[in-house]
Amino acid sequence: MATLGSRARRLALALCAGPVLAGLLTGATATAAVAGPAAGATSAAKPARSMTVTDVWMRDTVSDVGIQPHLTNPLWASPDIKVCPTTVECATSTFPVAGSTSYIFVKLRNPGPYGSGTDSGTLRFYRTTPGGGLSWPLDWVPVTSRVLIVPPGVTTVRAEWPAVPGPGHFSLLAIWDSLTDPLPFMSTDIGTNVRYNNNIAWLDLVSV
């Protein structure tokens, strides 16, 4: 999938599978309110011929360069997601305090190897229940979302996270979705989804 042709096939797959993903995401959002558009919304429509194919992505590992699928590990320690105790970005991700308000910082990189140009879309955040499973989408609860315009370069996004769950071990997921960089069909295995989609990043957490 290291060519623009691969991204074109990915967009075609998204057109076919978008309604399925939309149904899955809509089911997941029934358990929590999300800022901005409903988390169940997905970019299933096929881009017009005049639209630029975009490719906003996040690293799964330090050596990740956006290629799909990437073969590096671990998948659950994205260096592009941090959880910080204040509105100022911390040097390294911290363990949030259960019940408190924390702040999620995400670095969106544009463009990746499959597109170009400024993108606009929605960055969505999901979490699991402490000690719970990882099956997508049943085990994932919406946290919040941000509607954004992402120019070329690295854009740091901050999102407020009230009422951090726990204490316990759980996971946080960041998903970028746009009309010109849509998500293809996603399986129930979150590891496969992260490895094959450069616009999904995963961070394991422990709240204290």
Q: What is the CATH number of the domain that holds 149?
A: 2.60.40.10
| Number of domains present in the structure of the chain | 1
Give me the chain's average pLDDT, please: 82
pLDDT in tens, 145-184: 999 999 999 999 999 999 999 999 999 999 999 999 988 7
The predicted structure's pLDDT at residue 50: 52
The parent domain of residue 53 ranges over 4-207
Measured between alpha carbons, how far is 33 from 49 in angstroms, rounded to an integer? 35
The CA distance from 204 to 19, in Å, is 29
39-57 confidence digits (pLDDT tens):
343 333 444 445 689 999 9
Q: What tokens appear for 5 in the block? A: 């042709």
